Chain A
Amino acid sequence: MTLLYREGRFPAGVSVMYKKILFITGLLAVFLLYPSDAYAMHIMEGFLPPLWCLLWGGITLPFLVAGMLAIKKTVKRHPEMKMLLGLVGAFAFVLSALKIPSVTGSCSHPTGVGLGAVLFGPATMSVLGFIVLIFQALLLAHGGISTLGANTFSMAVVGPLAAYLIYRLCVKLGTPLWLGVFLAAALGDLLTYVTTSFQLALAFPAEAGGFTASLVKFMGIFAVTQLPLAISEGLLTVVIFNLLTVHNKQELEELSVISRRDLTSKGAGA
């Protein structure tokens, strides 16, 4: 086709049509094929300019300090909780290294944002998420040291906070437990990537159109491709949560020491 076009066998109108079709197919290919095996899409090492790295680090720091203080308080009262926090941190890392089959047929890795937020609360989750992100950068080469602040903000602060609030809202409204867990996990996952798109768009505003044009571009690629993956993660989290409420009721009750509220009062009935 390219050869024919170059030799000028097509009239001008057709070549424009051809270009257009090629472009749209290309875009579609990116959308459909892209997440064939997508790790949780952290911003990679060196992608953000230094100023933004520092800024996001500064914004994330208070959340980490708050998380550390909360953990310190818990550990002081219940010394055995330190071991538990370390081990559920390892659990969170393993969770993020597993593959879940996506509804579109491809594979993805869960972020664990929703499950962690509902189980441990957003304050604890910020510290655990931070630790998991450090290990992902050093052991799996996903994410990075310089972008640690930005990734922690999207993945360990915004995602869990959103998931936690959505879950609480659903409990308050009296929706079935599975719906609350599904929405918390799926929207928590999605909001993580919306935040990532924001961070990228702020760092790389388009030459023409500035921040908004750039945001549309990054949202199109990072948030929209994430939609089926968010749904998969939501489904998986519901399955895990149902099994946990059936088999591990006692552990969940003890965990409410960390998240500071009763978790199973609603869950047992569902």
Chain B
Amino acid sequence: MLKIDRYAYINRLCHVHPVEKFSFALLTMMICLLSSSPLTSLLVILLMAGLVILPARIPVLFYLKLMLIPMAFLVTGVLTVALAFTKDPCSFLWAVKIGGYMFGMTTGGLIAAGKLFLKSLGAVSCLYFLSLTTPMVEIFSVLRKLRLPPLFIELMSLVYRFIFVFLETADKIYIAQASRWGYATLKTSYFSLGLMLSNLFSKSYYDAQMLFTTLLARCYTGELKVLEKSYSFSRKNLLLITAAELALLIISWWSGASTNF
């Protein structure tokens, strides 16, 4: 149902130590965000796409489709940054006058928008690298190593485990309702959706009670303990990660100093 989650478990990089993948994704994202040169963003986009497609073997088409998801936000957001309006006609590249106001694009605005576009895409590809190669269960183990409150991680893993149960239930209820003309008009759609959600709510309530009873029957004392897969650090990967980060840092410093972008 959630394709990203499925690929996280079946990709070819899922045997790599999660800490390696986690720190690689976050460090690269940080460099991408801090760097002011578009070259770095472009390199990050290419690097992450290459890693996700070649060693991890995620289908190219699926990756491209994923890249399209944030476009709705990205295009509107970037256009809003690029578009300027003022009362006095200043250095516009292209402008339209409406009722005393000038709407248009300035050179500075366009450059800023372009840089923002690349930078966001770079950061998004880092996020995709993490979510496509690392199963959520392994991310929890990384968070545990980061000393986040255990109660918080327990809540997170409970939410994660039941997302799929509820998504499936919601899907089944939807099919049952739709096949009985539940979504024929706007009015019935609202009523059907309301019915579905209130049912789902009582189901989550019932499931919670059942889960608690089950856990009590299995000697639950207030803490959920799960087994963690053991991974070993690979010296080669750590070396490659350090080399990649250093190269990115040097490139962004060099290109940031030499261009006015």
Tell me the A residues contacting B by CB distance below 8 Å. 16, 19-20, 23-24, 30, 34, 38-39, 41-47, 49-50, 53, 68, 71-72, 75, 79-80, 82-91, 93-95, 97-98, 100-101, 103, 127, 131-132, 134-135, 137-142, 144-146, 200, 204, 206-209, 213, 217-218, 221, 235-236, 239-240, 242-244, 247-248, 251
Contact = CB atoms under 8 A, between A and B. Distances in A.
A141 B166 contact: no
Contacts of B72: 34, 38-39
Contact of B96 (A20, A84, A243): A20
Interface string B1-44: 01011000000000000000000001001101110000000000
A68 B152 contact: yes
Interface of B: 2, 4-5, 26, 29-30, 32-34, 66, 69-70, 72-74, 76-77, 80-81, 83-86, 88, 90, 96-98, 103, 106, 108-109, 112, 116, 119-124, 126-128, 130-131, 136, 139, 149, 151-152, 154-163, 165-167, 170, 183, 186, 189-191, 193-195, 197-198, 200-202, 204-205, 207-209, 211-212, 215, 222
Given A46-B33, A243-B198, A137 B127 contact: yes
A71 B153 CA distance: 13
A244 B81 CA distance: 43
B168 to A, nearest CB: 10
B127 A45 contact: yes
A45 B41 CA distance: 13
Contacts of B211: 83, 87
Contact of A145 (B66, B106, B127): B127
20 contacts: A23-B96, A38-B72, A42-B73, A49-B33, A79-B222, A83-B209, A84-B205, A85-B158, A86-B162, A87-B205, A91-B166, A134-B156, A138-B139, A139-B136, A141-B128, A206-B84, A207-B108, A208-B90, A213-B86, A242-B194
Given A41-B73, A141-B69, A217-B85, 20 more contacts: A79-B212, A82-B158, A83-B208, A84-B209, A86-B162, A88-B205, A89-B155, A90-B166, A103-B186, A131-B155, A135-B163, A141-B4, A204-B80, A207-B108, A217-B83, A235-B190, A239-B191, A240-B197, A244-B201, A248-B198
A145 B158 contact: no
A208 B84 contact: yes
Nearest to B119: A46
Given A68-B149, A145-B29, A34 B76 contact: yes
Contact of A138 (B33, B112, B130): B130
Contacts of B204: 84, 87-88, 90-91
Given A88-B204, A207-B84, A218-B80, A83 B212 contact: yes
A144 B120 CA distance: 10
Contact of A141 (B70, B149, B156, B209): B70
A90 B163 contact: yes
Contacts of B167: 94, 97
Contacts of B119: 46
Given A101-B186, A239-B194, A244-B198, A204 B205 contact: no
B159 A135 contact: yes
Given A83-B211, A87-B158, A138-B139, A45 B86 contact: no
A83 to B, nearest CB: 4
B73 A213 contact: no
B170 A101 contact: no
B76 A45 contact: no
A251 B60 CA distance: 47
Contacts of A137: 127, 131
Nearest to B90: A208
B158 A90 contact: yes
Nearest to A217: B80
A101 B159 CA distance: 26
Contacts of B208: 80, 83-84, 86-88
Contact of B124 (A46, A71, A131): A46
Nearest to B88: A208
Closest 6 CB pairs of A and B: A46-B123, A86-B158, A239-B194, A90-B162, A89-B159, A243-B198
Contacts of B30: 50
A44 B158 contact: no
B252 to A, nearest CB: 13
A59 B130 CA distance: 26
